[in-house]
Amino acid sequence: MREFKSATGKTFLTINFDSKNNLIYNNWIGYASSENIMQGATSFLEVLQETNCASTITDNSEFVGPWENSIEWLCENWIPSARAAGLKFYAHIANKGSFADEAARKLANCVESAFEMKVFESLMDAQEWIKSKTQVTVTV
């Protein structure tokens, strides 16, 4: 597990690789600055390359801060890098009604055909979708 803390010492992201299910689980928590988001997204790419994993669940259900300022960087840099590293299935759990929810929808528009991305409101729905795409049992 990789854990990332802000300048105030609060955890804003954990990244876990589930080798049994070949799945990366990203859990974003609280608030993260644009720099934190770039750091976390870049670290995810490292895990993606190290594990040769094609599926991820990004859980923003506990993420409250806006990350709209990072959309341009994610669209121009992160998405092509994730595709090149082999990402095929990206389940994103949005924090319904938050600033992060709107940003998730904008990110999904950028993805287009780079890989399959779907936005969910629950972990269970995201797990079921990943399971349907990869034909494995997903437990996080």
Written as tens digits, the pLDDT of the chain (140 aa) is 999 999 999 999 999 999 998 899 999 999 899 999 999 999 999 999 999 999 999 999 998 877 888 999 999 999 999 999 999 999 999 987 766 677 888 899 999 889 999 999 999 999 999 999 987 555 66
Rounded distance between C-alpha atoms, residue 54 and residue 12, angstroms: 24
Rounded Cα distance, 115 and 35, in Å: 24
Q: Which residue has the tokens 């976390």?
A: 40
Q: Which residues pair with 89 in a beta bridge?
A: 55, 116
Tokens of 72: 């341009």
What is the per-residue pLDDT for 18? 94
Contacts of 57 (CB under 8 A, 6+ apart): 23, 24, 25, 26, 91, 92, 93, 123, 126, 127, 130, 138, 140
pLDDT of the residue at 69? 87
Written as one letter, the residue type at 52 is: N
pTM given for the model: 0.90
Name the superfamily (CATH) of residues 2-134.
STAS domain (3.30.750.24)
Q: At 88, list the tokens.
A: 């095929």
Q: What pLDDT does 105 receive?
A: 82
CA dist 131 and 55 (Å) reads: 10
The burial class, CB within 10 Å (0-12 / 13-18 / 19+), for 55 is buried
The pLDDT score that the predictor gives to residue 135 is: 75
Q: Looking at residue 21, what is its pLDDT?
A: 86
**What pLDDT is recorded for position 43?**
98
Sorted by where each begins, the domain ranges of the chain are 2-134
